[in-house]
Copies of this chain bind each other. A is one copy, B any other.
Amino acid sequence: MQFTSEQRLDDGVIEREFTLGDIPGILWMPASASAPVPLILLGPAPLGLRKMYPRLVARAQHSAAEGFATATIELPGSGDRPRWDAAEQARAELRRVMEAGEPVSDEIVDALVLPLVDKAVPEWQAALDALLSLPEIGGPVGYSGGVISIGVRLAVVEPRISAAVLFAGSFVPRAILEEARQVAIPLHVLLQWDDEGNDRQATLDLFDAFGSREKTLHANMGGHTGVPQFAGEEAARFFTRHLS
């Protein structure tokens, strides 16, 4: 992990860009932390870190005010990372069927999501190794994220993650629905009820499948990016309950 830049934001939060091998990432640290702090992994978005930056930094600053470090890395094939033929083909095929008004088949969803999960999850685990080796970061670790299938896989395979906020809004392969039964950590699932790009029933099925004894679904109105402020604050309180 190589830090490539450091700046202090208005509220005193320290933003440090880094690379992990050829993967770019960002770490945000609370303004003043005397002891090692808990960490929230801010799950990625296929839009890429640069386009997502305003939303990510807002969430990082909110978390910093609660005493948490936050970090994120670029997804395979997103942002400045090299394109990736199979993923490009899967996205093109998805666009084609959606524009044609055809149903999105399980095969398309699998091709779109599963290779991404397989590639991304070990990268997030490597990032976690590097982040937890920093003296200023202790634990526990939460995951808060966008590509919900990555969050599900991480919750199953990564015992250092002790709570997760998952945002519905991407396709979920059947294999991930099955993996969800093995998830045991506390979950807070956000669903935008009228999200035009989201399969509501798939999210309800996924929520039902999670094996966790504590799982909460918060459904709100508004489109994909229209999560109300109070819902963001409730998600933050979930982390405060579980990571503080």
Contact = CB atoms under 8 A, between A and B. Distances in A.
Interface of A: 193, 204, 207-208, 212-221, 228, 230-231, 234, 237-238, 241
Contact of A217 (B214, B217, B234): B217
Contacts of A231: 216
A216 B219 contact: yes
Nearest to A219: B217
Interface of A is mostly: mixed
Contacts of A212: 221
| Copies in the assembly, this chain | 2
5 contacts: A193-B207, A207-B219, A217-B219, A217-B220, A230-B237
Contact of A218 (B204, B217, B241): B217
Nearest to A234: B234
Contacts of A217: 193, 217-220
Nearest 8 interchain pairs by C-beta: A217-B219, A216-B220, A218-B218, A215-B221, A234-B234, A213-B221, A214-B221, A230-B241
Contacts of A216: 218-221, 228, 231
A121 to B, nearest CB: 26
A163 to B, nearest CB: 13
A58 to B, nearest CB: 20
